Chains A and B, each alone.
Chain A
């Protein structure tokens, strides 16, 4: 496995983080000291090797020597990934570029990588922990993916992730069910019906919007009762789509038409700019309230949108994610999403992402320029 580029400091950092990923992705108690030390080292490295980021931090008076803790590390807005190539390695070493989805008219965010080793090492234990906690090592399961295959969308991190999942735990009948931009609903329906008859559990994973298409494909068909042990993972939103559903409605419809109970339906919160993902806790911690959790090498801050300071308990704020899997880029990311911390006594706190209500009406009749040029 290629670990990273030529820089020995970077190679050592990657090796340490990879070791953590293999060793204890979900410890019973978070290892704060380890995260603090590695986050500072990653910051120092990126501060020195990603020039625009270094200048951005200096302009805020934040340097590796001045920060008090990882919480003081400046976060780069996801929008900057649409404008700048944020690499902490020489361009010549670039091995992979993931791009955000979007139209040709709109700018697309790009994550530049010199290695996918951390990305892949982060995603698999996380996916196993949250989506397949009941699957023994070496066991396989029927996976149907409501997204395009990596061969069709090589620059999609989501397709790449699903490709890794399929290779690692998919049974022979597992496959991608979106091609040429369309959900291939007939073969998928046939597969689901057959799985129901032979009582084989299915894991259906894909974009939220692809699930809307699947539900529409039912038409006048009778609802299915997918076998016990089946699960659904959806991700992404509806931006730019003609039809939007609230998450509650989507889950209720999935339960009604596929027979998967809502406590077996979960959302993955991830983005192209991040190397790690967060998942609803419902399968990993069925007895605890639904909240989003991530692996040990990530931290989430919920900050006051105006001041950037930590929002109070229960307060709504902007989500800032620190992800040590992002060593080749920038580890601290300011998202455009709002969230709120969810505390559970005796358990690791998580968070919820507060989406904009699909039917929320604008106060005025003006509209953001980007949306206009994208439509």
Chain B
């Protein structure tokens, strides 16, 4: 594995290799490429493959997650990452553009972020499906996934493997960043600040496909909260919170409950605390670092202080910092340290609940919804209008279908160059 720090010269050399790799794809059918990428996806999906074993073994060390949490996260998330799912996605998106001729850019620069492998896998294979060679910059928190992807692709399909180059360099290396971003298309993931900085550096003609930081929520209706046994719902919510230590954009930071009285919300908070304690036994939280530990303590103490002031707030937590449930008094958003720290907000009515979510609308990813009975579809429509790109059941937030419209976008279309071929006069 080449972990050397890239330079302007090495990036230029990689671009030349990619240009040569693209020449090698001339005349090659897109079906052949799709077959290879489907096979690669199956390797990621197969728990006993060398690729999967290596990812499971090495990701905890570089990303800070507990091995059991990585294993469970991959089992659940990659279940739907099948070759068939990829074929269906390609069929859906390419058929939609007919009769235009789809194509990719001569090169696509892919800026990876975070430490969760699935978004990186999709970001790497999408341009390749369009025969656009990829120059990928690894995330500092996950130098692994892209390099494993590249090595496995070279092994499976050397011709296509020559169309992927992986580089690493620090974000503050301006010259290398500039060289990296000099492509027809840039697919970038990261914080709003990172994306703004990328946008400023691009040539006007460069296409930017950006995936920003997002958050997810759960919205629980009165029918769920009136159940006698809230444990099953709480266990599903605990899975959503615990996997990837609540650090993914599909991790719920808050649970909003529509409930005419506080009893149901209290009961859910209590059941969720029990479920998070059990989740900690099965999938221990990773090391969050001192800063996150301090933030967790601070947020717990702040809630305790409000409780002392007579506010209707409850804090349920372990003795350390591994999990926290704060049953809030209202719908006001408060900072969330993540790392398995979740707030439960009561709402007397649906309008207030949706109004609270609306404040986060520009950053909303997914919402797990349950307990609205016959009105479930109306709630879903309201959430869609607010900008949620995925609405699903509790317990499935971390297992999006491969074809999920991440940030409300198709996967391939934003990366395509389309040619309309009109009949001669």
Contacts and interface: CB of A to CB of B under 8 A. Distances in A.
Interface string A352-375: 000010010111111111111101
23 contacts: A55-B309, A55-B310, A75-B301, A77-B298, A79-B302, A83-B302, A316-B290, A318-B297, A361-B113, A361-B171, A362-B113, A363-B245, A364-B115, A364-B248, A365-B113, A365-B116, A365-B214, A366-B215, A366-B338, A367-B363, A368-B335, A369-B335, A371-B335
Contact of B363 (A83, A316, A372): A372
B191 A362 contact: yes
B299 A365 contact: no
Given A367-B363, A369-B360, A308 B246 contact: no
Interface residues of A, number: 41
Contacts, number: 159
Given A336-B295, A336-B298, A359-B170, A366 B246 contact: yes
A361 B337 CA distance: 15
A222 interface: no
Contacts of A375: 192
Interface in A39-86: 51-53, 55-56, 59, 75-80, 83-84
A318 B310 contact: no
Contacts of B254: 369
Contacts of B307: 59
A361 B249 contact: no
A239 to B, nearest CB: 11
Contact of B298 (A334, A363, A371): A334
A275 interface: no
A305 interface: yes
**Range, interface on chain B:** 35 or more
Top-7 shortest CB links A-B: A364-B247, A370-B335, A52-B309, A79-B302, A305-B293, A56-B308, A55-B308
Contacts of A295: none
Interface in A316-375: 316-318, 334, 336-338, 356, 359, 361-373, 375
Contacts of B115: 363-364
Given A334-B298, A369-B335, A56 B248 contact: no
Contact of B214 (A76, A363, A366, A368): A366
A365 B248 contact: yes
Q: Which of A59, A76, A336, A369 has the most CB of B within 10 A?
A: A369
A363 B306 CA distance: 30
Contact of A242 (B116, B193, B320, B359): B193
A339 to B, nearest CB: 10
B360 A363 contact: no
B278 interface: no
Contacts of B157: none
Contacts of A371: 335
A306 interface: yes
Nearest to A337: B294
Interface in B200-225: 211, 213-216
Interface string B51-91: 00000000000011000000000000000000000000000
